Structure 1
Amino acid sequence: MNLLQHSLLGGTSFRSVADLLSGLNWHEAARKTPGVPYTLAGLIYHLSVTQRASLDLASGRAETWPDALSVWPDHSPTRAEFEERLGDLQAGLAEAQVLAEDPSLRAREILADLAVHSAYHWGQVALLRRLYGTLPVPGPA
């Protein structure tokens, strides 16, 4: 696995995405925290939408970022929306791994940007789960 692949999945410079999502359920994802402008469901929505648009660019399915793309939910995601976005996010992570294996220059730039953007939001996921007492204990290194 190369550095770009690790950057997309975590596990080196930050907790692995698999760890961060382990055991995440709808009840926890929908929980609102005073003073925090998003829920875990909203973060998953955002990560999924931005990842999908980035993967479309990196793979050549799209030439430009969609003009009218709403990257944050305009309402609290429903359980079905959360589960759909979570599934798409996980499928996209697998697609990103394939694209990052031997990327073109364009794909490398887009995926590197996606990795940095996502790492910021994975930190928010980790913080909320830590506050809730639900952040899984890291496995052996």
Structure 2
Amino acid sequence: MSAPSLNVLQYALIGGAAFRRPEELLAGLTWAEATRAVPGLPYTLADLLFHLAVTGRASLDLASGRAQAWPEHLSVWPDAPLTEADFAAVLAELQTALPEAQLLAQDPSSRAREVLTDLAAHAAYHWGQVALLRRLHGTLPQPV
């Protein structure tokens, strides 16, 4: 049986067409690497992934109708350094959110399409930063 075809929005959310898939970019990422600072940058990989997870969840809640508005006072960057347990929760959220986004993009309402398109552009920007930081650390996995 062949795999179902994906639409452009689904590809934009999960990668694989114009940019690397998030699971490829995260392959082999360790806690030590995720928290390693890069001189001149105000964030670590862990901080970027936290940002992706928080903004992704808020966007998916809007797209799915679980929320009617962006949460007031949402901290989209960590207020303090993440613990290893916090980081594990961030990775788990990202693993949950990506398939959810793909499913929502399968046949979205006009509201969901608008929110998911914004999420796709925002996420692509930050996944590019993840790739760059991993390259700077010398740990960017080879394309699959």
Q: TM-score range by the shorter chain?
A: over 0.9
Cα deviation, residue 18, structure 1: 1.5
Question: Quick check: 1:38 aligned with 2:43?
Answer: yes
Give secondary structure in 1 for the equivalent of 2:56: helix
Cα deviation, residue 14, structure 1: 1.1
Residue from 65, 69, 91 that aligns with 1:64: 69
Which residue is equivalent to 2:118? 113
How far apart, CA to CA, are the structure 2 residues paired with 1:96 and 1:48? Answer: 12
Moved over 4 A (4+): none
Give secondary structure in 1 for the equivalent of 2:105: helix
When the two chains are superposed, the root-mean-square deviation of aligned CA atoms in Å is: 0.7
How far apart, CA to CA, are the structure 2 residues paired with 1:97 and 1:61? Answer: 17
Name the amino acid aligned to 1:7.
A
Which residue is equivalent to 1:8? 13
TM-score by length of 1: 0.97
TM-score by length of 2: 0.95
How far apart, CA to CA, are the structure 2 residues paired with 1:107 and 1:23? Answer: 33
Unaligned residue ranges in structure 2 (runs of 5+): 1-5
The superposition leaves residues 63-93 of structure 1 with CA deviations (integer Å, 9 ceiling, x where unpaired) of: 0000110000011111100110110011011
Residue from 131, 137, 140 that aligns with 2:142: 137
How far apart, CA to CA, are the structure 1 residues paired with 2:57 and 2:92? Answer: 12
Which residue is equivalent to 2:24? 19
Cα deviation, residue 43, structure 1: 0.5
Give the 5 Å matches for 1:48-63.
48-63=53-68
How far apart, CA to CA, are the structure 1 residues paired with 2:60 and 2:117? Answer: 11
Cα deviation, residue 125, structure 1: 0.2
Which residue is equivalent to 2:3? none
